[in-house]
Amino acid sequence: MGVYVRPCTHVREPQRPEVGVGSLELAVQAVPDEHLSSLKFVFGSSAIQALDLVDRESVTLISSPSGRRVYQVLGSSGKTYTCMTSCHYCSCPAFAFSVLRKSDSLLCKHLLAIYLSQVMRNCQQLSVSDKQLTDLLLMEKTQEA
Ligand SMILES: [Zn+2]
């Protein structure tokens, strides 16, 4: 741990099939090396994992006509987490444990991925109806219960 010469190249691994490469890909902003080092310093391994999520285009902003905005992040395990940046919340276990309970992290990799995808312009957008967004939030709650 801690010996990271090049924290993250934020480049797609060559062995990954290049599917769905569209104009979004071109819009992705490169992160300067010194910023990557800072990210790694502040957020530890979460920074690398978050950048990986951004690279995989795992972040989706879901908005509805009433102005509600919810993020969904497809985690590395294939599970989707619901996040709200307005109140700084993520539904993942790491957030509940490390951020809320132990207070030894500022955020989880999903929230960090959202913030990074905003500045790197790599956030997917999805517009749904108010009803659909309500259903989505209720579904999340039912799953957790
Ligand atoms: Zn999370």
pLDDT tens, 15-27? 444 444 444 444 4
Q: What is the whole-number distance in angstroms between the Cα of residue 94 and the centre of ligand 1?
A: 6
Domain limits, the chain: 30-140
Q: What is the whole-number distance in angstroms between the Cα of residue 95 and the centre of ligand 1?
A: 5
Report yes or no: 116 and 107 within 8 Å, Cβ to Cβ.
no
Q: What is the whole-number distance in angstroms between the Cα of residue 92 and the centre of ligand 1?
A: 4
99-144 pLDDT tens trace: 999 998 889 999 999 999 998 888 999 999 999 999 988 886 666 5
Q: What is the whole-number distance in angstroms between the Cα of residue 96 and the centre of ligand 1?
A: 8
Cβ < 5 A residues, ion ligand 1: 90, 92, 95, 108, 110
Alpha helices in the chain (DSSP H): 23-27, 33-43, 45-55, 93-94, 109-119, 130-144
